[in-house]
Amino acid sequence: MLEPVALYLREADVASLVTLDDVIDTVERAFAEAAAGRAVNRPRQRVQVEGGVLHVMAAGLPDWGVLGLKSYATTRGGRRFIGLLYDLSDGRLLAMMEADTLGQLRTGAASAVASKYLARPEAGTLGLIGTGWQARSQAAAIARVRPIALVKAYSRTPERREAFAEEMTAELGAQVVAVDSPEEAVRDADIVTTITSARDPVVQGGWLRPGVHVNAAGANALPRREIDTGVVTRAARIVVDSREQARLEAAELTVPVEEGLLTWNRVAELAEVVGGQVPGRQDPEEITLFKSLGIALEDVAVMHLVYHRACERGVGEEIGR
């Protein structure tokens, strides 16, 4: 029987093959590979035309034997995510997979890994701004690494935040309550996570309690900011998934840099924290910040996991015969 050139994996396949715990572990190991100099990540590139934008991002994990990319087009009619995974030994396409679920899982996993190293061990209250598709994996993933007993969730639409609270209470086995303002979500929270499409800041530095950890995970383009400069200037430790990509996409950091309130040498990479080159939290009272942009290294690492699970379980459609 001829070996198939590749597998085609649909969203339902991806969801059936990996758990959130799998993805958190895989993302953390990928950052450890990067810390050891055994991974390459390239920032997202964008092709803008009238009516839409094509986004392409790529990475390689040589010790895992793979190269890969994720691409997606955002148009007036919606968006579609596709990942391609290649064998490093012979250049063969291993898999083409739909990557919306994959992106949701790896984004939540990145916040979980950051929270593992930067949030206080006893952190039990999560303030969550945004209650959409991505917010579910944020709450669930962070609850895997910290003893979350209370989630205070805010979004602009009361019906959506109430539905989110009901759904996630059942999923997390924790108290999830809908609140009426971003400030109410943030005040007294041990961890704050933003996962919105907001163009202007939804979290102010003056709302933060000492010892809080902030995951700013929604904005990945310069016109958008979820946190104000006050959050950045109050943070004792600032970490990003990629400094190179942050310079291109993270207005939350580029604005205070331009204003002379921050220098890039104060910004560490999550790989450096995971690898031990840079310390994580140093003091129970310090404020820490993780600016998540979503990088290809995370995508390719999870694609590698999904592909091998698919081969083991006989899942997916053979293509390219």
Name the catalytic one among 70, 116, 152, 291. 70
Q: At what angle do helices 20-35 and 133-145 cross, to 10 degrees?
A: 80
Q: Report yes or no: 99 and 68 within 8 Å, Cβ to Cβ.
A: no
What single string gives the DSSP state of each residue in 110-140? HHHHHHHHHS-TT--EEEEE--SHHHHHHHH
Distance CA(10)–CA(41), nearest Å, equals 25
Structure tokens at 44: 């997202």
DSSP 118: H
What single string gives the DSSP state of each residue in 222-259? TT--SB-HHHHHHEEEEEES-HHHHHHH-HHHHHHHHT
Q: What are phi and psi of 28, to 5 degrees?
A: -65, -40
Dihedral angle computed from the Cα positions of residues 295, 254, 197 and 146, in that order, rounded to the nearest 10 degrees: 60
Q: Which of 219, 155, 223, 151 is nearest to 189 (CA)?
A: 151
Is 291 catalytic? The answer is: no
Q: Report yes or no: 154 and 310 within 8 Å, Cβ to Cβ.
A: no
Catalytic residues: 70
